[in-house]
Structure 1
Amino acid sequence: MTLINLTLDELERDALTELVNIGVSRAAASLRKMVGKQVLLSVPTVEVVTQQAAAALIGQRESDDLVAIQQEFGGAFSGKALLIFPEDNSFELVRAIIGDEVDAAEVASLKDEALAETGNVILNGCLGTIANMLNQSLQMSLPKVVYGDGKVLFDVGLEPDADGLVLFLYINFAVRDRNIRGYIAMIMDLPSLNMLKELLDDFINRVTADSNWAVGA
């Protein structure tokens, strides 16, 4: 396969950006209910990059240690979804969820459980929305909490073929009045990327037939 066969054209990119935006916005609404604060979102970016490039991208933005909630998903297309935080931020997120009155020792003991639940709500909400709009369903694994830098989170160098092209959907969010910021990424292999392209083309054909909606409008 050549690179040109694996890239998204402008219309496909616009459609995928719109789906990610809708999915993350709905997931953010769930997070807002959990923390009781407004959740601010950036405009999603969609890139086809290597796992190494994805690790470098998150490394450019965050120099501190990271924590990620990972969930594998499968169906018509498959991959791994990650909800990523700077590790220091994760304590603030847990406090926002379980309450400021909880002492530091209890926050530490509940940290992984609270992070896993947060990731489960957000990642399921985001991917579920995207799949539904593509007339598909996805199965999600149980959330797993992982600590490390970008190379660890994106499995760089673990296998000889681990640096192949991946689909990197990147969006960051912040919680108002809290020192919390995070990122959502989804990694997909080449066959899944090709399948997603086909599903996006079907989606574009459906929505452009509706004069009330146009991709990228």
Structure 2
Amino acid sequence: MTAILLTELEHDALTELVNIGVSRAAVSLRKMIGDQVLLSVPSVEIISRKEAATLIREREVDQLVAVRQFFEGAFSGHALLIFPESNSLELVRAVTGDVLSADEVQEMEQEALSETGNVVLNGCLASMANMLQRPLTMSLPEVHRGDGQRLFELANKPADSGVVLFLYINFTISGRDIRGYIAMLMDLASLEALKQLIGEFLERIMDPEGITGGV
């Protein structure tokens, strides 16, 4: 279990922030692909890295592919866009417009996934950071493969340290159903910082004129 828990209101606000961020990422992805893109986030969970690895192992039996980027600012960590391998190839076909052969799709996979991950993760996190009124910087994307345990590993960090903000996402691209996940790996200090920023966000939307702040 994590040492820092969100209240129901904070969790609802986080879910809304994530949904807005993912929706804006979908707009950017639509411009890149040239077809209608719908992304939805049916669930948002904060769990340990070990629990996240178990959860994705229970849901996915195939090899996983992930685009990974480091982000830092008021809160920091690693963001991953994760797909089952079969879904990742379908995404590449959507990105490349179904004009490539099977061999060409394989050759383009790394580049197409990096670009897609960069668009989705940057769009989502930049939008969240903007609404939380804090800047974030992000590293270049890297493509990783493996099971959940391997993808959620962090150098020099035990498996029971840190938390994962785990988002199940549904992609609908040009009639294709592509499931995936966004995971944000953070330490407890970053989660505490995020919780504080969510609290400030709630204060702003509940009291936009600062009336309760006095004169």
> TM-score, normalized by length of structure 1?
0.88
Deviations 1:173-217 (A, max 9, x none): 122422522211212111101111111111111110149xxxxxx
Deviations 1:53-82 (A, max 9, x none): 001111222111110000010011001111
CA contact (8 A) 1:46 1:167 kept: no
Q: Say which is worse superposed, 31-40 or 21-30, in terms of deviation.
A: 31-40
Query: Which residue of structure 2 aligns with residue 168 of structure 1?
Result: 165
**% identity of equivalent residues:** 57
Q: Say which is worse superposed, 105-114 or 63-72, in terms of deviation.
A: 105-114
Distance between the aligned counterparts of 1:102 and 1:111, measured in 2? Answer: 11
Alpha carbons of structure 1 residues 43 and 175: separation in structure 2 relative to 1, 3 Å: closer
Distance between the aligned counterparts of 2:2 and 2:127, measured in 1? Answer: 28
Query: Which residue of structure 2 aligns with residue 103 of structure 1?
Result: 101
Query: Which residue of structure 2 aligns with residue 64 of structure 1?
Result: 62
| Aligned amino acid, residue 73 of structure 1 | F
Q: How do residues 59-208 of structure 1 correspond to structure 2 at under 5 angstroms? A: 59-155=57-153, 159=156, 161-176=158-173, 177-208=175-206
Please state whether the residue corresponding to 1:181 is helix, strand or coil: strand
Q: Say which is worse superposed, 135-144 or 39-48, in terms of deviation.
A: 39-48
Q: Say which is worse superposed, 143-152 or 170-179, in terms of deviation.
A: 170-179
Distance between the aligned counterparts of 1:16 and 1:44, measured in 2? Answer: 13
Distance between the aligned counterparts of 1:179 and 1:171, measured in 2? Answer: 13
Alpha carbons of structure 1 residues 44 and 178: separation in structure 2 relative to 1, 3 Å: closer
Distance between the aligned counterparts of 1:178 and 1:36, measured in 2? Answer: 14
CA contact (8 A) 2:41 2:170 kept: no
Alpha carbons of structure 1 residues 119 and 210: separation in structure 2 relative to 1, 3 Å: same
- 1:19, distance to aligned residue in structure 2 (A): 0.5
Consecutive unaligned residues in structure 2, runs of 5 or more: 210-215
| Aligned amino acid, residue 31 of structure 1 | L
User: Cα RMSD over matched residues?
Assistant: 2.0
CA contact (8 A) 2:2 2:47 kept: no
Please state whether the residue corresponding to 1:163 is helix, strand or coil: coil
| Aligned amino acid, residue 162 of structure 1 | A
CA contact (8 A) 2:2 2:48 kept: no
CA contact (8 A) 1:167 1:193 kept: no
CA contact (8 A) 1:41 1:171 kept: no
Please state whether the residue corresponding to 2:149 is helix, strand or coil: helix
Query: Which residue of structure 1 aligns with residue 213 of structure 2?
Result: none
Distance between the aligned counterparts of 2:193 and 2:66, measured in 1? Answer: 26
- 1:32, distance to aligned residue in structure 2 (A): 2.6
CA contact (8 A) 1:46 1:169 kept: yes
Distance between the aligned counterparts of 1:170 and 1:160, measured in 2? Answer: 22
Distance between the aligned counterparts of 2:125 and 2:64, measured in 1? Answer: 22
Alpha carbons of structure 1 residues 113 and 204: separation in structure 2 relative to 1, 3 Å: same
> TM-score, normalized by length of structure 2?
0.88
CA contact (8 A) 1:49 1:167 kept: yes
Consecutive unaligned residues in structure 1, runs of 5 or more: 212-217
